[in-house]
Chains A and B, each alone.
Chain A
Amino acid sequence: MPGDALSYLTDPGADIPVRMTEEKREILLAYYGLDKPILEQYINYMVGITRGDLGWSIYYSAPVLEVILGRLKWTLLLVGTSTAIHVTLGILIGAASAWAHGRTKDVCLLVSILSISSFPSFFLGILMVIFFGIKLDIFPIGGAQTAFATYQSPFGEIFDILHHLILPAATLVISHIGGTYLLMRNSMLGVLGEDYIMTARAKGLSERYILHRHALTNALLPIVTMTAMTIGFMIMGTIFVETVFAYPGIGNLLYNAVLYHDYPLLQGIFLFMTIAIVGANFLADMIYVRLDPRVDHE
C-alpha cells in the first residue's frame, strides 16, 4: 500500500487535508521511528513482539495490542455465537434433508437453504435493520451496547449486549448456514450408501437408532474440519456485517486501518488473524483424533 499515515493526512484529496512543512513531517516520522532503515524497523518490531509489544497505532494513538483486544472480544462474541448456531442448525437440517433424500421434504429444504444463502451478508443485514430495527422497532439498529448506559444489575448489561447481538448474529448465521447444510447433506448421503448402514438395517435396528448412532456420528467428521477452516475467514468476513450494524469488532477495525494507512495496526490485526486460523486448525486436528480414532494410528 503506497503512502504512510502522514501522507494520508496531507493528501490534498482528503476531506480535510492537513498542511505540513517538510521539517514538521520529518520530526513526526522520527517520533514514530519511521525514518530508520527498514531492516532496523523490522528488528525493533520483532523484538517488540517477544515482549508483547505490537507497536503504536498511529490513528488511534494507543498501543496496538490494547486497540485490538478492545475490539477482539466483540468479534469473538459475534463469531462464536453465530458459528455455534449455524453449525448446529446446519447439521440438523442437513441430516434431516439427507435422511429424506429425494422426497419433497428434501427438495423443499434444499431450495430454501440455497435461496437464503444467495443473499450477500450486507444486503441481508440492511433488510434486518429495516424490518426488525425500524419497522418493528424491537431490536437496536447498531452498536454492541447502548451508549452511556448505566445498568442496575449485571443482568441488565448482559441483556443489553444480547439484545444488540441478535440481529448481526442472525445475519451471519443465515449467510453461513448454506455451506454447513450442503456439506452435511452430502456427507450424510455418502454415509447412507456405506455397507455398515445396510448391515445395521439387516440386523433389524430401528431407523432412529441407525440415524443417530451409525449415520450422524460418522457424517459429522467433515463438518469439524470445515468449521475450523471457515472460522478464521469468518472473523474477516464480519467486516460487512460489522459495517452495516456499526458493530465495534475486528472487521470494522481492519477497514479503518486500511483507510487511515495505519500500518502498525494492520500488522497487529494480521498477526491475530494468523494466530486465530492456526489455532482453529490445531483445535480441529485434536478434536478429529478423538472423534475418529483411526486417524491416530497413521
Chain B
Amino acid sequence: MTEGRKILGSIGLGILTIFVIVAVLAPHIAPYDPHQMYRPMEHPSSRHLLGTNDIGNDILSEIIYGTRVSLFIAFIVSAISMLVGTSLGLIAGYFDKLGFLIMRVVDIFLTIPRLPLIIIIAASMRPSIWNLIAIFLIFGWTMTARIIRSEVLTLRTRYYIDATKMIGGGDFYILWRHILPNVIPLVVVQFIMEAIHVILAESGLSFLGLGDPVARSWGMVLHYAFECPIIYVSDVWMWWMLPPGLCIVFTVLGLTFVGYALEETLDPRLKNPAYGREL
C-alpha cells in the first residue's frame, strides 16, 4: 500500500502544481480581462473557448482568475489558522493553567454549529474576499489547537524533555527545539484538511450568493450560472457550470491525495497495520 500511497500523492501534487501555476500566472494565461464585456451568452468558439456568460464576460478568463481567488482564500486561511492553532496548542499543552483557559474557549467554538453561524455572519457583512477570510479564520484555528495540545500532552512526559530540563533548558527552549519539531507532521496534515474544508465552504457560501461579486471565485461563477434559468433548457451548463465545478473537484481531490500520502510518511505507525490506529 505504501507504493499506492506514493503514486496517489504524486498525482495529487501534480494536480495542485497545475492549479498553482495557473493562479500565479493568471494575467499571462487568461485570454481576456475577466471584467471586459463582449456579446453575452456566446457559445464556445475559437475567440471564446468556453463562451461568454450572461453579461458577456469571457468564461475561461473568469475561471482562470477564479483559481486565484479560490486558492488565495484557502491558502491564507489555512496558513494563519495553523500559525494561531499551533501556537495556542503548544501553550495549552505545556502550561496547565493557561491551557485550561484556552481549551474552554476552544470548547465554546467547537459546540457552536459552524455552518449556520458562518452563513449568518457572511449574510450580515459586505461580501468581500477579506470578510470571507475573516469569517473562516474565526473557526479555523480551534481544531488544530485541540489536536496539537493533546500531542504536546504526551510529548512533554518523554524522558528527553526531563533530561533537557535537568541540564537547565527553559520552557520556551523546550517548546521551540524539542516539541515543535515533533508536532510539525501533524500541522502539515491539518493544513491540508483545513484547506479542503475552506475550498468547499467558500465555494458553498459563494454558491449561495454570499461571496465576493467582484473577485469571483469558482463558487461565484457557479452561483451566477445557477441564477440563470437558461442553464436547464440548453447546453450552456456544459461550458458554464461543468468547468468551474470540476476545478473545485480536482483541487479537493489533489489535496485529499496529498494528505493521504503524507499521513503515512509522517506517521510511521500506519505502515504496519498491526499497531492499529488511534481514532
Contact = CB atoms under 8 A, between A and B. Distances in A.
Interface of A (DSSP majority class): helix
Contacts of A258: 119-120, 123
A254 interface: yes
Contact of A233 (B4, B113, B200, B257): B113
A183 B249 CA distance: 21
A1 B256 contact: no
A277 B272 CA distance: 36
Interface in A240-291: 240, 243-244, 254-255, 258-259, 266, 269-270, 273, 277
A259 B226 CA distance: 18
B119 A255 contact: yes
Interface string A146-189: 00000000000000000000000000000000000001001101
A227 to B, nearest CB: 14
Contact of A190 (B120, B226, B260, B279): B279
A20 interface: no
Interface stretch (A81-89, A114-122, A199-207): A114-122
B249 A118 contact: yes
Contact of A1 (B123, B208, B277): B123
A102 B253 CA distance: 21
B237 A114 contact: no
Interface stretch (A23-31, A52-60, A70-78, A123-131): A123-131
Contacts of A259: 123
A189 B8 contact: no
Contact of A114 (B1, B245, B257): B257
A115 B249 CA distance: 8
Contacts of A22: none
Contacts of A270: 113, 116
A138 B95 CA distance: 62
Contacts of B116: 236, 254, 269-270, 273
A237 interface: yes
A126 B226 contact: yes
Classify chain B's interface size: 35 or more
Contacts of B252: 118, 120
Contacts of A141: 232
A114 B232 CA distance: 29
Given A1-B120, A186-B277, A270-B116, A240 B257 contact: no
Interface string B199-220: 0100110011000000000000
B226 A193 contact: no
B90 to A, nearest CB: 27
Contact of B245 (A106, A123, A129, A233): A123
Nearest to A277: B113
Given A111-B8, A130-B237, A193-B276, A123 B253 contact: no
B248 interface: yes
B274 interface: yes
Contacts of B167: none
A194 B274 CA distance: 7
A258 B54 CA distance: 28
Nearest to B114: A233
Contacts of A127: 245
A146 B14 CA distance: 47
Interface string B81-124: 00000000000000000000000000000000111100110011
A267 B42 CA distance: 46
A192 interface: yes
9 contacts: A3-B124, A107-B4, A114-B257, A118-B249, A122-B204, A123-B203, A123-B245, A190-B279, A233-B115
Given A119-B249, A191-B276, 11 more contacts: A1-B120, A101-B273, A102-B4, A118-B252, A120-B248, A122-B207, A123-B245, A187-B277, A190-B273, A233-B115, A236-B115
Interface of B: 1, 4, 8, 113-116, 119-120, 123-124, 200, 203-204, 207-208, 222, 226, 232-233, 237, 241, 245, 248-250, 252-253, 256-257, 260, 272-277, 279
9 shortest interchain CB distances as A-B pairs: A190-B276, A193-B274, A118-B252, A123-B245, A118-B253, A1-B124, A190-B277, A102-B1, A258-B123
